[in-house]
Amino acid sequence: MITKNLQDAFNEQINKELYSEYLYLSMATWFDAENLPGFASFFKIQVQEERFHAMKIYDFVNERGGRVILEKINKPQINFKSALAIFEMAYKHEQFISKSINELMDVSIEENDHATKSFLNWFIDEQVEEEASMDAIVGKLKMLGGNGHGLLMIDNELGTRVFTPPTN
Ligand code: FEO
């Protein structure tokens, strides 16, 4: 059984994951409007990843005898300056999520809750990937420096991304 303290913190994390889903969907809409379907597809897959994260926590809270409570999801930003501005924002957002997961880990250590620590290890590893994937694209976009042909090449490359639900 998780404590009320951890239950509240997990419910906040579910909200952050659902907000991430919404933010990335908003980024996808911008790319679709800009006729960059590969970038849009990348973010639509990211949307599925975020829903997976939210549901993984949802299931854990239930398994540990807690109660999932859904709160309002904030409205995401709609307009963006450029592809680079979007990926810089996504990278910063993933750093914020990593910090939030680390704080959850701090609480589970304080409470000596080993099952929660074990569960959160998956998210700590996942966040390394989440940050790295956004940062790698920031790097590529910076190298281009506004080159339209290069942007289309990255669009083609990102369009090949597929969603593979993690097995554990
Ligand atoms: Fe759920 Fe992108 O972290």
Higher pLDDT, 166 or 61: 61
Q: Indicate if the pLDDT at residue 145 is higher than 90.
A: no
Nearest to 93 by CA among 6, 167, 23: 23
Residue nearest to atom 1 of ligand 1 (CA): 50
Percent of the chain with pLDDT over 70: 98
Q: What is the DSSP letter of 112?
A: T
Please give the C-alpha separations between residue 48 and each of 20, 55, 85, 147, in angstroms, as whole numbers.
Answer: 10, 11, 22, 30
Per-domain boundaries in the chain:
4-70+81-158
What's the pTM value of the predicted model, to 2 decimals? 0.95
Question: Would you say 81 and 37 are in contact if contact means Cβ atoms under 8 Å apart?
Answer: no
Instruction: Check residue 165 and give its pLDDT.
Output: 79
Distance from the CA of 156 to the center of ligand 1, in angstroms? 23
Residue 166 pLDDT > 80, yes or no? no
Tokens of 122: 């998956």
* Nearest-atom index, ligand 1, CA of 50: 1
Task: Please write the tens of the pLDDT for every residue from 127-137.
Answer: 999 999 999 99
Average pLDDT over residues 42-54: 98
Res 168: pLDDT: 61
What's the 31 CA to ligand 1 centre distance in angstroms? 20
Architecture of domain 4-70+81-158: Up-down Bundle (1.20)
Q: What is the pLDDT of residues 3-26, one digit of tens each?
A: 999 999 999 999 999 999 999 999
Given a contact cutoff of 8 angstroms between Cβ atoms, the answer to whether 138 and 88 are in contact is: yes
Q: Which residues line ligand 1 (CB under 6 A)?
A: 17, 20, 50, 53, 94, 97, 130
Task: Please determine, for residue 62, whether its predicted confidence score (pLDDT) is greater than 70.
Answer: yes
Q: Which residue has the higher pLDDT, 40 or 150?
A: 40
**DSSP conformation letters of 71-87:** -PPPPPP---S-HHHHH
Atom of ligand 1 nearest to the CA of 46: 2
Q: How far is the CA of 42 from the centre of ligand 1 (A)?
A: 14
Span from the CA of 81 to the centroid of ligand 1 (angstroms): 23
What's the rounded Cα separation, in Å, for the pair 25 and 51? Answer: 11
Which atom of ligand 1 approaches the CA of 94 most closely?
Answer: 2
More confident residue, 149 or 92: 92
Distance between CA atoms of 12 and 5, rounded to whole angstroms?
Answer: 11
Q: How far is 56 from 48, CA to CA, in rounded Å? A: 12
pLDDT at 147 > cutoff 90? no
CA dist 126 and 6 (Å) reads 20
**Span from the CA of 2 to the centroid of ligand 1 (angstroms):** 22
Confidence of residue 81 (pLDDT cuts 50, 70, 90): very high
Q: Give the CA distances from residue 4 to residues 1, 14, 90, 108, in Å, rounded to whole numbers and listed in that order.
A: 9, 15, 31, 12
Give the confidence band of 146 by pLDDT, cuts at 50, 70, 90: low
